[in-house]
Chain A
Amino acid sequence: MKQQHEVEQFLYRQSELLDTKQWQKWIDLFAADGIYWMPPDASYKTWDGQPAIFAEDKNLMKVRMLRVLHPDAWSQRPLWETNHVVSNVVIRKVAKNGDIEVASRFHMMELRRDDVRHFAGSYFHRLKKTKNGYAIKLQRVDMANAQAAYDYVLQVWV
């Protein structure tokens, strides 16, 4: 129960950081070699060497953050609003050293000027147990929207 609670709190915190645009803190949740990955569809088994919507290490995450914060990031003026709800949190695997694999589902409402879009799907987190809690080794995001064309694009992580 304690572990379930800890993991849930971690996921809630991650989505809260996104929705409040605390992107550096969001990036800090990842392990030094952590990867954020959104495959084009559910059939993909690895991010490595494959087409990917996102396949970012912390360096690329930093590029994305700096870009969005640049005054000439035209598509980001005004910055988009998002609202994530994370649920259905299920611990899939716990290793002896405390590393953990967890599946969850999300729903995100995004507002861009006058337009609302909805994205939904599943998260898979591989988390490393550290002194200060968890660090993300891998976050996989599968969009339920994946088979449709993207009406406009994604700019910040989902």
Chain B
Amino acid sequence: MGNLSDLSKMVEPDRVRKEVYTDAEIFEREMERIHETVWIYCGHDSQVPKAGDYCTVQIGRQPMIMVRGKDRKVNVLYNRCPHRGNLICGDRKGNTGDQFRCSYHAWTFHHDGKLKNIPMMESGYAGTRLNKDSPELCMKKAARVETYRGFVFASLSSSGPSLKEFLGESIVAFDDMCDRAPGGEVEVVPNCFRVIQHSNWKLFMENQIDALHPSVVHQSTGRAAHEVEKLLAKEAKSGEAPLSYHMLSAFATVTIDKWDNFQTINYPHGHCILTGYMGLRPQDPDTLAYDKIMIKAYGKKRFEEIVGVNIHHVLVYPGLSVQSPLQQLRAVRPLGVDRTLTEIWHFRLKGAPEAIYRRSLAYYNLVNSPATLINADDLENFWKCHTGLSSDGGDWVSFARHHGRDLEKDGVVSSAPNMGTSEAPMRNQMKAWAKFMKEAR
């Protein structure tokens, strides 16, 4: 492979060449033209509450630092000393005090990356090409940084759409999550789960909104949870098992045909909304107590609008999957053509009762932890897909399901009624991929 001049031949409306998932050179190009160009999620500003707080984050192939400055501004810098290229932060997070200090030759930098001091600056650099004001003595900043409702994004390209323009309708991921808090704000639950899958990053993005897969892939856990759920319901005074069992059993009790009742709505940059409930508006005392607080904060009408938002998943292309009703966020960090890291975060609705936090926490632990009862079988499939795609047993990946039956209006493609398992999201992602790949930086 390696012939990138003809990328258009790799993506057809209903199928894609296997090399798109397995070719190392294509991976390098997509890092450059997609991940290192468009808006990528860095983190939430509650991860760095105090001046000097930082965490490291990978954007495409670039090691970056997200840091809170003394001016309260969140900066995103390349994690690289301008002197000899040393990483400035070796730790994943911490507080750097009022400066960054390189561990190699003790160059120091302000939180915005500007040079603070070099040991023996005068004697060492007098008469050289460098002086204290040389821009090449600063830590390089991400070209653009923008925050929406506390969610920090960076783009390594100085041109392109603004964050809001780029997010378009997918911005509902953050609105839906934050609006569900009485004060309209969320905060991160410290630390994320980090899991590596042995496949290309695109398989993860496709799987997240693949409405057909759950009842096949997660049958084992759905059945197991349903067995125990039935026993617990029989024992319980209320006649109901804890909601967390329902969250798991739904993978089996929602049968394969029912997933067609879901709908995907697909947007030009590759973003996607998967609609559909998992029974998330129960009438138990915890929910009713929460409803009361919400109605007090927003009024009845606005409250109904907020909890009525019908979202299961929002996918922000190319690297973010948000389950806003459960306050979970997964950020995809490609490590190589065949290795992908996901960082999985949980957020707390500020001002909501503890019981509501615990409900989504149960989902976070059972579905998204490194001992996951659900994702284990997804990761298994990703590895199997990658291994099969690397073979000579075929050249194409098919996305033909319900092709030609989707509804399209103004560039937005929706699955048709009762065709929620349409492979429209995969077709749409690859269409966006091909467009990004063609665009020169």
Contacts and interface: CB of A to CB of B under 8 A. Distances in A.
Contacts of B341: 149
Nearest to A59: B228
Interface residues of B, number: 41
B361 interface: yes
B195 A40 contact: no
B358 to A, nearest CB: 6
A148 to B, nearest CB: 8
Interface residues of A, number: 33
A10 to B, nearest CB: 23
B293 interface: no
A154 B227 CA distance: 22
A152 B189 CA distance: 23
B369 A51 contact: yes
A93 B364 CA distance: 34
Contacts of A59: 228, 231-232
A144 interface: no
B349 to A, nearest CB: 14
Given A51-B189, A52-B365, A153-B195, A63 B371 contact: no
Given A151-B196, A154-B371, A66 B223 contact: yes
Contacts, number: 104
Interface string B174-215: 000000000000000101011111100000000000000000
A70 B224 CA distance: 8
Majority secondary structure, B binding face = helix
B358 A55 contact: no
Interface string B348-369: 0000001001100100111001
Given A49-B354, A55-B365, A63-B228, A74 B191 contact: no
A63 B193 contact: no
A65 B354 CA distance: 30
A3 interface: no
B189 A149 contact: no
A150 B354 contact: no
Contact of A70 (B196, B223, B361): B223
Given A41-B191, A150-B196, A153-B375, A51 B365 contact: yes
Contacts of A54: 369, 371
B379 A153 contact: yes
Contacts of B379: 75, 152-153
Nearest to A38: B371
Given A40-B193, A63-B224, A150-B196, A155 B369 contact: no
A145 B67 CA distance: 27
A18 to B, nearest CB: 14
Contacts of A152: 195-198, 379
Interface string A125-151: 000000000000000000000000111
A73 interface: yes
A154 B197 CA distance: 13
Contact of B371 (A66, A70, A155): A155
Contacts of A73: 220-221, 377
Interface of B: 189, 191, 193-198, 217, 219-221, 223-225, 227-228, 231-232, 245, 248, 341, 346, 354, 357-358, 361, 364-366, 369-373, 375-377, 379-381
5 contacts: A54-B369, A59-B232, A63-B225, A63-B373, A152-B195
Given A49-B354, A49-B361, A60-B228, 8 more contacts: A51-B346, A63-B221, A63-B373, A67-B223, A70-B223, A74-B381, A76-B220, A150-B194
